[in-house]
Structure 1
Amino acid sequence: MRTLGHITAMPELPEPLQGLRELAYNLWWSWNKEAAELFQEVDPALWKRFRGNPVKLLLEVDPARLEGLLGTGYPARVQGVLQALRAYLEERKQKKGPLTAYFSAEYGFHSSLPIYAGGLGVLAGDHVKAASDLGLNLVGVGIFYHEGYFHQRLSKEGAQVEVYEPLHPEELPLLPVQDREGKPLRVGVEFPGRTVWLGAYRVQVGAVPVYLLTADLPENAPEDRAITARLYAPGLEMRLKQEMILGIGGMRLLRALGLAPEVFHMNEGHSAFLGLERLRELVAEGHPFPLALELVRAGALFTTHTPVPAGHDAFPLELLDQYLGHFWEKLGTDREGVLALGLEEKPWGRVFSMSNLALKTSAQANGVSCLHGEVSRRMFHHLWPDLLPEEVPIGHVTNGVHTWTFLHPRLRRHYAEVFGPEWQKRPEDPATWKVEGLGEEFWRIHKELRAELIREVRQRVYEERRRNGESPGRLREAERLLDPEALTIGFARRFATYKRAVLLFKDPERLAKILRGPYPVQFVFAGKAHPKDEPGKAYLQELIGRIRELGLEDRMVVVEDYDMYLARLLVQGSDVWLNTPRRPMEASGTSGMKAALNGALNLSVLDGWWAEAFNGKNGFAIGDDRVYESDEAQDMADAQALYDVLESQVLPLFYAKGPEGYSASWLAMIHESLRTVGPYFSAARMVGEYLALYQRGAEMARRALGAAETLEALHQALPAFFALGLRVEAPGHLTLNGEPLRVRAWVEGEVPEALRPFLEVQLVVKRSTGELEVVPLAPSHGGYEGSFRPPRPGSYTYGMRLALKHPVTGRVTWVRWA
């Protein structure tokens, strides 16, 4: 049949079940077990088939089934859960903090809405959910990819095959966004020779609305409709188009909705073009470019997520000229003035870096773990070459996970019984984690979750082998894979080479010895490689090949199509969570936090979040914090450390079982893991820290607007600052025996009046171990003088500089070293 169109007949629910529709269109159900159970009970088979999508479930369920539920207690339960949702929303009507727009290229809310690729998207989803729980004044902006991210199939040879499935918005918990007249809302973004029109869908995540842009509209040409088809579509030009839609289109959507956020949070650099659009708006209001840039920066926050250079988008300048050349004249400066905001010098030429743009248009920036903050300051030091690396204005907010999304409902109920009612209200409060009461019942639940994981693994491997046409014998083997009683180690993440999924195979003989030794142990692997990441795909195939070569398929299983559903099964059913990145390439990592929530112990390299979480009693460390001279040396050292920890610590401790059926020492380590990881590495704690940054951003935005004349005068006088000199009087090399270091300095040149309130002469002292201290010198007899007494013995270096502090941020922004 020649298709003329697509229609969707919405279900006519019986009156007592009308509340199901309201529940279906708020993703609150995705972290409320009672709500999810209502939908699952309607038809368990359809619920699983549609990946837990309640809208699709209600479209496809047999109406007779709904009628059959009316004579039971089901309608009363619907009303009870609906009242709980309404009470949840009512409690959050009074919002906390300034209105903040949160921009992300991907969101991982639930497996039924596959517009996420991995950790970045799931982190964004957790951020929004925690913001809803805490009642933050947040609005999300993203893209609805109508083909989503790919489903992964593994061929008989272990090769990854990408499969895309069209997503129909009317079959998802999405509502079309309309204008004030009830018509579909439209905003336009100028592309070469045409305007690309954008619509949007709203997904309600508890108390937070998230708006997802789409170019899949009849007003656009087919090639433009395809821009928002696939998440991370290949090709620099396509990526640029998507990021223009997210940043520029996202800003215009907010304006069309009548929203005026005080703060803009960029989750990675994909949305950094929003800074240019905000510049255009301010210049159109009459602000000169330097002041407009200050106003843009004051209310912006940028979170960087990767220390891997390839993870930071950069575009050729000719591509920028082609797509954004019309923008230059609207920004109150010339082409070079705009390009300077994102310019990056590469060995092959100049490119425009989206991360540089984000940093140059944000007054606040952060990495996603303490170690990643340090790495980011070194990585972006070239943008502030006159500052010391420690002074680069990038801090850190360590990631956290949404407790209620990833903690298994049975454990949630058990924890609530053991910990008491305050725990459910304040899971980020360490005082509520009264873990000492967890014992036999906890272990019984944990064993059942491990068994559920193994059943799912067997079913998935069976389906994979059946699809690939494997023999009946191989299908029967799939039904017996793994041992429900054996120590089960999970490893699941994106397949990138630096994550070293094959590290276990560095010494095949030793690995085989461990797997065939006296302690039963087994591994479950899962993860996707980016479709264009050929080394990552080869790594995945190599892992599968190594397992087969060594005859370990009964003890090591790779499961296809890793998504949020499989992720929950893995973190909830594993005993140990393995993480083997090449330090310091892991920015944070959150899967280990999710596993810890459910009683698994982490076995990880001291990278990302684990570098600050590990205390020697709450899990296991692979190696130490040394970085070796080569990747090969690093891999060999870490592999040997991994084998050592498995043989001498993990396996003996797990199998030191007492009469109660579990190891008391193992359970004590779980207690420590839950006590230290559960509250601190939660999204509630994380978003609470971001709230403080949002409040600071709003305050700086107001301060910048009030200091417009001061900022303009400062920028006009700035060239004079770099003409100033600093003459110093210092003792040079000196050994101190209890006496302070004394220094004097004189500014040479005329200091403009506009600079005087923000000028300091500073003594900068750095200890050999890295601690930094800045001592402002006091005016004295036409110059400046000061002293420094070392707080402890050691080796120090020191220097002196003329520093100009920013009127709004208060940070040292411009310096002249003596």
Structure 2
Amino acid sequence: MATSFLPETYAPPYEIDPKYSKSAVYFCCEFAIDQSFKIYSGGLGFLAGSHMRSAAALKQNLCGIGIVWTCGYYNQTRGEGREMAVQFRKKQYAFLQDTGIRFQIPIYGKPVWVGAKFLPSEVFGTVPMFFLTTDLDENDIDDRQITQRLYDNDPGRRVAQYTVLGAGGARLLEELGVDPEVWHLNEAHALSAAFRVLEKHGGDVAEVKKRFVFTTHTPEEAGNEKHNFQHLLHASFFGGLDEQTVRDAVDLRDDTFNHSLAALRLSHMANGVSKLHGEVSRQMWGHHDGICPIVHVTNAQNAKYWKDRGLERARESNDLDFLRDRKRELKDNLFRIVADQTGKLFSRDVLTVVWARRFAGYKRAELITRDAKLFQALIRDSDRPVQIIWAGKPFPFDYGAIETFNHLIRLTSDLPNAAVLVGYELELSRALKLGSDIWLNNPVVTREASGTSGMASAMNASLNLSTYDGWVCEFAKDGVNSFIVPPADPNLSPEDRDHHDMVGLHRALRERILPLYYDTPADWWAMAKKSMDDVLPYFGSDRMAAEYYEKIYAS
């Protein structure tokens, strides 16, 4: 019989499956576990939340470590002019148990108190999880603010946050009296944990490498976080290690510290989050000395959480009439949210396109609107009407992304069949996936490491319309279970590439999707069912959680 590596007080209520008996801890800055627990911003958190649920379902010997962000990411609301507004509000979570564990770690040379909260497995069906906080009476106001806002805009405070997650997480494990066999960094935010282990083992890099594995989610080297090395030393990011020991450990030859590159040099195995992203990552990092092997484990979503039971019954019984009727009910549910937020009344009989994810430039939220003539022809077609919904949270200080969000609000203000929603969190995300007919995904190709929103929409009889990037390359059969925009010539300028992709979206809608939906509805629902059939089990997170043990933790 395999038992949990955690002390009995924090052990899960299930016996560990012997296949997954190796002890592992999973560090992540954000986890989207439940609508009520607002400690996430977007896709990274959605992915991590699904992983924690599936790890519990598979009875894995794993725990999660994150941070209690007392102000969350932010509340997305509307201002007086209907534009996007940002609010930060403190939240408390009665379902978290105070462990009573308190310890100090150095941050900018000053001892800062860190406390640990515990989330039992039974609350949300996850593995046991611990969440760190500096928002304690023992700290002054500046130190309390370290763990208040996820991805704080102040770069110095961001370093402090990463130190709490990594070094603080390592100290928590010491307080618990455990040393897991696998330390999994989901992104490099918790990298300071590796330096805590390095310090504990007297600078022995081999002791670090044998424990650590690393998942990278960023497919461009420029997008990987860098800091000035001297600033990190000043910030106590490396704990009590001296400068030369750190430089030698990560082969640092100047003062630009790349967190992802350091993670690749301090781990024995790393992975990208789709097959394509694994290839891109090997090309991106392969010229650097001393990095670990990079494979891939394609991201996935938790089917038990995301899929609608009624749609699943229709799929299992091959009842396309029931599939259509249940989808109409779910569209009505979504359209009540649209009406409540915007005053616009959408119809269950109209093809509904949804673009919903984090607003960022490369994701091109407004791409379909860039040619005014094409967009107006699409949105004002009375013979084959279309409804379009946008939703998503920009980074609260990414003013370009916020302007894109507000531009879409202005553009659609007088259109009865186009809407922009605020408050994109788990429940709204689920409603959009259940109520959409087309899930629109049009990132610049190779910029989306994986993407997962289209997986959950496919589980719910929504067809993907996508550029050929990320997970889509492993799933899509154009015209069979999805609609794919043909890839642009890689030699095109960014402007010409965007135009190519925009025209491709309109052509797919006008020539393929709208005729299929309105003229041959039986074929539409057969294709929607095919998409549901094809997305599982591979793009369910049970496969992903198992694969981490088989491909990454077993190495």
1:516 aligns with 2:440: no
Aligned partner of 1:19 in structure 2 is none
Question: Which of 234, 237, 247 is the matching residue for 1:339?
Answer: 247
Q: Is the 8 A contact 2:355 2:441 kept in 1?
A: yes
1:317 aligns with 2:229: yes
1:585 aligns with 2:447: yes
Amino acid at match of 2:169: G
Amino acid at match of 1:99: S
- Over 3 Å counting, the alpha-carbon distance change for 1:279 and 1:91 in structure 2 is closer
d(CA) in 1 for partners of 2:417, 2:346: 6
Aligned partner of 1:119 in structure 2 is 43
Task: Give how far 1:254 is off.
Answer: 1.1
Aligned partner of 1:362 in structure 2 is 267
Question: Which of 442, 450, 454 is the matching residue for 2:331?
Answer: 450
The 3-state SS of whatever aligns with 2:345 is coil
* Counterparts of residues 277-316 of structure 1 (less than 5 Å): 277-283=196-202, 289=203, 292-309=204-221, 311-316=223-228
* Counterparts of residues 26-175 of structure 1 (less than 5 Å): 89-90=13-14, 96-170=20-94, 173-175=95-97
Aligned partner of 1:216 in structure 2 is 135
Question: Which of 408, 412, 422 is the matching residue for 1:547?
Answer: 412
The 3-state SS of whatever aligns with 1:135 is coil
Q: Is the 8 A contact 1:95 1:135 kept in 2?
A: no
d(CA) in 2 for partners of 1:262, 1:501: 42
Aligned partner of 1:14 in structure 2 is none
Aligned partner of 2:546 in structure 1 is 688
* Counterparts of residues 461-540 of structure 1 (less than 5 Å): 461=342, 478=343, 480-517=344-381, 518-540=383-405
d(CA) in 2 for partners of 1:246, 1:513: 50
Q: Is the 8 A contact 2:64 2:128 kept in 1?
A: yes
Amino acid at match of 2:180: P
Post-superposition CA distance 1:385-416 (Å, at most 9, x none): 9x9xxxx721111100000111124334x25x
Task: Give how far 1:508 is off.
Answer: 1.1
- Over 3 Å counting, the alpha-carbon distance change for 1:159 and 1:378 in structure 2 is farther
1:648 aligns with 2:502: no
Post-superposition CA distance 1:122-181 (Å, at most 9, x none): 1111001000000100011011011111011133445321111211233xx21111xxxx
CA RMSD of aligned residues (A): 2.1
In percent, how many aligned pairs have the same letter?
Answer: 35
The 3-state SS of whatever aligns with 1:200 is strand
d(CA) in 1 for partners of 2:533, 2:340: 35
Question: Which of 587, 591, 597 is the matching residue for 2:459?
Answer: 597
Give TM-score scaled by structure 1 length. 0.63
Amino acid at match of 1:679: P
1:197 aligns with 2:144: no
Post-superposition CA distance 1:314-343 (Å, at most 9, x none): 211221121238745x4xxx5244135557
Aligned partner of 1:236 in structure 2 is 155
Post-superposition CA distance 1:288-321 (Å, at most 9, x none): x3xx212211221100112244642221122112
The 3-state SS of whatever aligns with 1:259 is coil
Relative contact order (C-alpha < 8 Å, sep 6+): which is higher? 2
The 3-state SS of whatever aligns with 1:324 is coil
Aligned partner of 1:270 in structure 2 is 189
1:611 aligns with 2:477: no
Mind listing any 5+ residue stretches in structure 2 that lack a counterpart? 1-11
- Over 3 Å counting, the alpha-carbon distance change for 1:311 and 1:532 in structure 2 is farther
Aligned partner of 1:45 in structure 2 is none
Task: Give how far 1:193 is off.
Answer: 4.2
- Over 3 Å counting, the alpha-carbon distance change for 1:565 and 1:326 in structure 2 is closer
1:188 aligns with 2:188: no
d(CA) in 2 for partners of 1:310, 1:115: 26
Question: Which of 468, 489, 493 is the matching residue for 1:630?
Answer: 493
Question: Which of 375, 386, 405 is the matching residue for 2:280?
Answer: 375
d(CA) in 2 for partners of 1:211, 1:106: 12
- Over 3 Å counting, the alpha-carbon distance change for 1:631 and 1:326 in structure 2 is closer
Amino acid at match of 1:583: V
Task: Give how far 1:641 is off.
Answer: 0.7
Amino acid at match of 1:400: A
Amino acid at match of 1:667: W
d(CA) in 2 for partners of 1:264, 1:680: 25
Post-superposition CA distance 1:737-791 (Å, at most 9, x none): xxxxxxxxxxxxxxxxxxxxxxxxxxxxxxxxxxxxxxxxxxxxxxxxxxxxxxx
Q: Is the 8 A contact 1:100 1:694 kept in 2?
A: no
Task: Give how far 1:279 is off.
Answer: 0.8
Aligned partner of 2:7 in structure 1 is none
Aligned partner of 1:772 in structure 2 is none
- Over 3 Å counting, the alpha-carbon distance change for 1:452 and 1:628 in structure 2 is farther
d(CA) in 2 for partners of 1:613, 1:157: 41
Aligned partner of 1:410 in structure 2 is 310
- Over 3 Å counting, the alpha-carbon distance change for 1:256 and 1:337 in structure 2 is closer
d(CA) in 2 for partners of 1:338, 1:373: 28
d(CA) in 2 for partners of 1:327, 1:592: 41
- Over 3 Å counting, the alpha-carbon distance change for 1:541 and 1:167 in structure 2 is same
d(CA) in 2 for partners of 1:367, 1:326: 26
Q: Is the 8 A contact 2:134 2:147 kept in 1?
A: yes
The 3-state SS of whatever aligns with 1:632 is helix
Task: Give how far 1:219 is off.
Answer: 1.4
d(CA) in 1 for partners of 2:251, 2:82: 41
- Over 3 Å counting, the alpha-carbon distance change for 1:626 and 1:158 in structure 2 is farther
Aligned partner of 1:666 in structure 2 is 524
1:253 aligns with 2:185: no
Aligned partner of 2:9 in structure 1 is none
Q: Is the 8 A contact 1:135 1:207 kept in 2?
A: no
Amino acid at match of 2:170: M
Q: Is the 8 A contact 1:606 1:625 kept in 2?
A: no
How many residues end up aligned between the 2 structures? 539
d(CA) in 2 for partners of 1:159, 1:307: 31
Mind listing any 5+ residue stretches in structure 1 that lack a counterpart? 1-87, 178-183, 284-288, 420-435, 462-477, 658-662, 698-818
Amino acid at match of 2:233: D
Q: Is the 8 A contact 1:145 1:214 kept in 2?
A: yes
The 3-state SS of whatever aligns with 1:190 is strand
Post-superposition CA distance 1:333-375 (Å, at most 9, x none): x524413555779xxx832121112111111101111111111
d(CA) in 2 for partners of 1:626, 1:344: 37
